[in-house]
Structures are given as structure tokens and as C-alpha cells.
Structure 1
């Protein structure tokens, strides 16, 4: 059936659309490049480079000294001991913990900010530390919660993550690192009361600033005494980064499920920031299979002192603390300086491609490079198609292996102009690297248009 017979008589006539470049050619089997002088025919649609070009080299992360990380834990234990045995929100021990971390970072050349909030009638603080330099539009962010429960000193939960992040930040200073991305570190308050500090930070961060965070990495309990090696599975690139790090050391990993959504990555994830992280286990029981591959004691919790008074400096496994601290540094160095584009990187094609009236489908390509593993489960596809009757159009995303994802069907009742939208595609079964295509077909007569631009955001 022709859509023409079902349309309203007297609809908007064809119009001539402006072009950013000359009319795009669609010659089969050949691609004509622009001349060096810039004159001559326009090229067929060519993929543009990523919006944030990766650096040319990857810097290896330094070893994070275990002794330094444990020294921070000793200080946090001393602070708790001097303040009723804990470092909980609203207590003197928490404020002393924040002051200790801030003093270390100030001396190392970081720009630090204390963010004050109120919860349960008491004042709390988040500490944010920015390392000077790097692209401010591409932020790599590592964080951990610094507060304990009132029952104990909280040395594993979460002095361990806080100390690992702190010592990695200090290593950035010692090495004089000049990252291509901007590095930011955070220590959150009142996590034990329901992620209060990190929620406050995220909720008060303008959306334009949230969009600049390429990855938030969370480290909560990384030195459990009967440890497992758990990796967050939220962002495929970050997940693979950590898995590969441990695999190179002969350490098997599992996907983290015990604390999923229960730590400070959750507020970031909920507003669309790519997240990842590490965890060594809390009060879940280690299975026989886990004990066989990781050592330790099966039938016992990963941390028998979870949220208890015995969570002291004696409640730490040095090997787990050492490995996980080194993994933090590896992630910061790789995402901050490496050739792999961070989560949130966009690949865009801005060349025009004509869409013929009642013609064959046309395609606009984007070459994705530098990724690891598969595409994300929430791949963002931004589409800008200029057309005088959008109901004519069928739009698909085509993966490198030819798999097509329908973005838009044709509809005789959709009489508006243009297709300007962002679609979310579960492309997690597809390899990320390769040539992706936007395929557009006009299935009915009378109207014309063109692909203006489109982009993929990983």
C-alpha cells in the first residue's frame, strides 16, 4: 500500500535543505577523497575521529607500596581509638579522618574541597581532590567512603578502600604524572547511613559536569581477611580492565553481586555515569570452590568482622590489600593516560548522506577503534536526519558483524519533520571495535532529506 493515499491532502510540500558541505555522493564501490587543497567533489561519508582523541602512549602504573597503605590504616585506627572507637558520621573520629586525608593531599599538591552536608541531625563532609591538569572535559574519578559504623573503627570497611585510593593519589604526585584526562579523587561521608554523602555530591553536581565524568571507580572493602576478588560488571571496558589486570597476575575474578548497588558507585550509575570497581567480600560465606581458587577458609564469611568492633588493623589480608591497591593505580594510569578511550567517548560522523525518495537504503559509517571487549548494554545512538516527512523513514543501526538494530519504523501518521533523537541499544553481544553503520531508507514518495550527522557514545 502506498503511504501517499493515506496522507492528509495539503501537507507541507518538499523543501530544499541547507547543506554543511556539497551534496554527498553515493557512488557504489568507490570512495572519492577530498583533494588536499579542499577543492573538488565532496567525499562519500567518512567516519570522523572520536571526539576525545586518545593519547599516543600508555604509561605503566607504579607499584603501590603496601607499607604506605597500611600506614594510613594505622593512622585511621589511632583516630578511632582516640574517639570512642569509631569514625562514624557525625562523630569526632570521622572529622579527624577527613582532616588526616586532606592534609596528605594538600601537601602533595592537590586542590582539595570539603563539601558539607547534614544527615540525621549531624554535619558530614565529602572530600574532593583534583590533580592539576588533564582535559577538564574528560574526568577519571576514583572514590571510596571514609566513614565507619558506630560499632568499630572500620579498618576494612572502609579504611582499606580509602587508604588504597589515597596512596594512589599520592603516587600520582610522587610520579609527577601529567595525565591526558583530568584526575579526581573522592572520600564520601555517611555511606553507612545510605550513601548519603555520594548522593549529595551527585545530586548537587550540574548535569553538564556529570557529563564530563568518563568513569567513576569505587573501592569499598579491598582487604577482607578471607578475601575474594570481585569486579563490578557495570561498564564493559572498566570490567575488562580490572579482569585483565588480575588475570596477568594469575588471580581469577568473579563478578561482584554481594554489594551491587549498596555502595557509592550507585548514585553515579543512576545518572548515567559509567562506573566500575573492586570488592573483596563482606558477610557472605566463601564457598568451597572459591576457597580452592583463592585460598582462605570455605564456610566462613569473607569478613567475619563486618560492621563489628573487631574490624581493626588485625582484620586485613595484606595480599588482597596489596593487589587491589595496585589495581587502583593501574586503572587510574590506564584510563587517565592510556590509548584506550574511556567510557563515555563518542565517535561521530558529520558528513551529509542523501536519502533518496522511495529509494534504496543508504548507510553512513563510523569506525570504532581502541575499545576492549564488547559494546555496552546501553549504547547511545545519537541521530540527526533532516527530512520533510519523518514517517517515511526506516532507521537501523548496523553492527560490524551485520546485525541490525531497529531504531525507528516508518509510520503514515508520523507527519513531523526530521528525526533528531538519541536511542539506547543493548549491543552487549557485539564486539565494540569495527565499522558501525547508520542505515536509512525512505519507503514512500514525495519527500526528501539527508543524514546530517550521527554518533555512538560508549
Structure 2
């Protein structure tokens, strides 16, 4: 038994040394992937779904529009792209034209949603993150030691149809490692790393360890996502996952935060898998940076330890008010690596008549600031995305707050069986309340009875 254990450990070490040997000790560090750019892509995917029957299912107009959006960004960045069609859908394949022709390091994410919803966490998060990683390769143009390829799969939700078709038609040839990213921003996230290959798992775990995030092996999705056809073809596979309908344990909540005994993603395969309400931007940011870190380690060379960095979130992320009223939120920052830094807060994108202020306007990463949004009496009805930006000493971050101004009808009376967004205001028995969490009201959930959902004003 001891000899077998030592032999396995030695084999893993040799695989990591030989397969993923760095090009040089002075190779460029992996880039920081801006989460604000990822969420901008998610907003586009949400808009596409909303304009196409509420979903982006494979073979339907929403999927085609999603594929065309990503393809357009890749084409403009200099990638060689091709659309591989199959019965029931299509795959988008993008090769970076610089560097050696092989061997290939490949990163993939399924682009399709289920028919019942827009599929923002499953799997807009993985798709949007890989798009930004691909754009980072284009922007930095590192000296590569491996060929780099990206894929956005169709018909994953119908049984891995797109990735199976790709592998069955010779797609795995020359692929040294395949990295899969499926659901990387669950709202109650965990940090799960594929354990199919010890060397790849070690690369991911070393990054998370450097930012103080513990991980667990990912075993729930074994055989259920697009890495499975590659693994069956003998390709080394790895990846990350933040959890689906399974419930977070108390032990997991203690180390990762979030809510124990609640699903990692309560909207898994549901109509409520929407942006921005069903995405945890901290997890989204960390996992995108991990993807870049491992890609650079595999295809560029030695990756320097991450520098000073922080994440930024806003809660609530949306509000509905009438003209003449105001909304409030809290911007929170968290140090993700290195030391704290000064962050100056500002806003952009607010329409005329809307003012945004921060208290305080400058914080240290790890601190929070109260946001006050005052809406003038003449502001027309509509929904306005407002960008809240953090200008750090070494890193800039941003988040989006969605402000909806009503049509002048003032507060509405609370009613059961009504969908309320966070920030909405109602009256009940002559008292005003603000919604704290988006939900559909039920009898017995009157505002004074559920302080977790309603705040008395």
C-alpha cells in the first residue's frame, strides 16, 4: 500500500513537472480579469434571452444571438473562429493564431441554457468569463509555449451533444489539457475544483490558496459536463464549479460564507436564473482569475504570485422608486490577495436628475460605503444601469446598480402573489416598506410579518 501511494504521488509530480514545465522563470504574470467586463457580457446575454422568449436554449434564436455576440467580439480581437454545426445546435471554436501549432491547451464552457430560463449562472457565467480570458490573451499577446483554443458548446443541456460531437469528429486530437468552466458564479457559492487530474487540480488549488480561499474536490458533476467526452478520449481535464441545486453544509458556510442548508444556486434550471440577481460577483471574479492563472501556467510559463487585489459588490443590486424618491445600497469590498489599498469611489451612467453619493467616498479595501441615489421629480420612467466604480491604488473594480424609476404612480399597496424586486417600495396598512430581497409574495408574508424581506421606512 505504501509503495502504491508513493508511486501515485511520484507520478503526479512527474506529470506536473514534465507536462506543464514553464517556458522561463521570467514569464509574464497572468492578467487580472476585470469582473465588470464579465458582468457586462452577462447583461448582454440577459438582454438576448429577454428578447428571444426568455431563454438561450440550443437551436433557438436566443442561442444563435448569443453565439453571434461572442463570435463578433472574438473576430474583432483577432481570433480564428469557426462555427461547427450539428443536429440540434452548433459549437463556436476560437483559435489564437499566434504561438506554436501544438500541443493545444483548450478551455471550454457551454453556451446554451435550458428552455425554462435565460441560463445566466448556468452557464452564462462560464461563457462570459472565458470570453474575457480570451480577450486578455489578445490584449497581452504573451509569448506562448502551447497552442491556445477556446470553445463555447451547444446542446450541453441535452446531454453534452456539442462537445461529444466535437470529440467524435477528431477535436481531441493534439489537445494536451482541457479546462471546463460550468456555473462559476452561483449566488451561494462553493469553490469546487475538478479532481480528475492531480496536476491540473494542483494548479487551481495553488491559486486559490494564494488568495486565501479553501477548495473542495468537485465530484457532483463527474460525467455531467463538457469535460466528460475529453476525459473519455484520454485528455487530461480540469476545471472549477460553484455548485448547483445541492445544499451548502454548515461546515461549508463556515469556510466560504453564505447560507447553510440553502442551495448553492436556488435558481438552477429555472426562470429566475437571471442577471444580476442570480450571480455572486466575488466568486465570478475569483474563478475567472483562476482560469487565467492556470492558462498562463500551462501555455505561457511560470506565473508570479498575485499582487494586491480586492473584490467589489453592491447590495441590493437594484431598486425601483418613483420620481422624487431615493434609493440606498451598500458597496462592499474584500481583499482577495496581498494587502489593503485605498479605493476612491465614483459613479457613472446616471441619467440627468439622478445624483449618486458615497459615504465615505474613499475607503480601504475590506471596508464598505453607503450609497445614496437621489431621483429628481422630473426624471422620466425607465430602467437605468449605473456603474459604481472603485479606483484602487493598483486595481480598479466596478459593479452595476440597476435603477428603475416608476411612472409616477407612487408607492403601490402590498398584495400577495406579486413579484417584488429588491428596492421596491410599498404601503401596507398606511406604512411604507422597502423590499430587501427579490421574491414573489404569498399570504402570510405581509411586510410587518417578514422583516427579512421588508424594511419599514
Do these two structures clear the TM 0.5 threshold for a shared fold by scoring above it? yes
> Quick one: higher RCO (CA 8 Å, sep 6+), 1 or 2?
1
Cα offset for 1:62?
0.8
Residue 336 of structure 1 corresponds to 299
Contact kept, 8 Å, 2:248 with 2:264, in 1: the verdict is: yes
Contact kept, 8 Å, 2:186 with 2:264, in 1: the verdict is: yes
Contact kept, 8 Å, 1:55 with 1:338, in 2: the verdict is: yes
Cα offset for 1:52?
9.3
How many Å separate the matches in 2 of 1:318 and 1:158? 14
SS of 2:219 mapped into structure 1: coil
Cα offset for 1:50?
6.3
Contact kept, 8 Å, 1:59 with 1:334, in 2: the verdict is: no
Unaligned runs of 5+ in 2: 1-16, 304-457
Cα offset for 1:51?
9.3
Change (3 A) 1:50 1:66: closer
What do the CA deviations read for 1:129-165 (whole angstroms, capped 9, x no partner)? 0001222221010000000000000000000000010
How many Å separate the matches in 2 of 1:154 and 1:51? 35
Contact kept, 8 Å, 1:229 with 1:278, in 2: the verdict is: yes
- Answering whether residue 247 of structure 2 is matched by residue 285 of structure 1, we say yes
Higher strand share goes to which structure?
A: 2
Residue 259 of structure 1 corresponds to 221
- Answering whether residue 137 of structure 2 is matched by residue 172 of structure 1, we say yes
- Answering whether residue 51 of structure 2 is matched by residue 82 of structure 1, we say yes
Give 1:126-275 correspondences, 5 Å limit.
Answer: 126-205=91-170, 210-275=172-237
Name whichever of 53-62 and 86-95 sits farther off.
Answer: 53-62
How many Å separate the matches in 2 of 1:322 and 1:184? 21
Cα offset for 1:200?
0.3
Residue 113 of structure 1 corresponds to 82
TM-score by length of 1: 0.61
What do the CA deviations read for 1:410-435 (whole angstroms, capped 9, x no partner)? xxxxxxxxxxxxxxxxxxxxxxxxxx
How many Å separate the matches in 1 of 2:272 and 2:150? 28
What do the CA deviations read for 1:365-424 (whole angstroms, capped 9, x no partner)? xxxxxxxxxxxxxxxxxxxxxxxxxxxxxxxxxxxxxxxxxxxxxxxxxxxxxxxxxxxx
Runs of 4+ in 1 over 4 A off after TM superposition: 49-54
Contact kept, 8 Å, 2:107 with 2:150, in 1: the verdict is: yes
SS of 1:338 mapped into structure 2: coil
Aligned residues: 285
What do the CA deviations read for 1:243-274 (whole angstroms, capped 9, x no partner)? 01001111000000111110000000001000
Name whichever of 135-144 and 76-85 sits farther off.
Answer: 135-144
Asked which structure has the greater CA Rg, the reply is 1
Q: Root-mean-square deviation (CA), in Å?
A: 1.6
Unaligned runs of 5+ in 1: 1-48, 341-458
How many Å separate the matches in 2 of 1:67 and 1:179? 27
Residue 326 of structure 1 corresponds to 289
TM-score by length of 2: 0.61
Change (3 A) 1:175 1:268: same
How many Å separate the matches in 2 of 1:142 and 1:220? 11
